[in-house]
Amino acid sequence: MAQDAAIMANDEDAKRRKWRNIAIALVLAAMVVIFYVVTIVRIGGNIAERAG
């Protein structure tokens, strides 16, 4: 009986870990996209100034 409870707790922990890892991955991906967009916008602004 005690082992069954421990296994269920481990399953719950694994599910929580999975969702936490997914959340961290999404936040990291969002940060990468934001940094990429900001970099492109800043570079694009500099190129426009040089051409004008």
pTM: 0.68
Number of structural domains found in the chain: 1
Q: Looking at residue 45, what is its pLDDT? A: 73
Half-sphere exposure of 34 (CA within 13 A, CB side): 6
Residues in the chain: 52
Return d(Cα 31, Cα 41) in angstroms, integer: 15
Q: Is the pLDDT of residue 1 over 60?
A: no
Q: Which residues form the domain of 25?
A: 1-52
Q: Is the pLDDT of residue 52 over 60?
A: no
Q: Is the pLDDT of residue 48 over 80?
A: no
Distance, first Cα to last Cα, the chain: 77
Return d(Cα 52, Cα 42) in angstroms, integer: 16
9-47: per-residue pLDDT in tens?
788 888 999 999 999 999 999 999 999 999 999 888 777
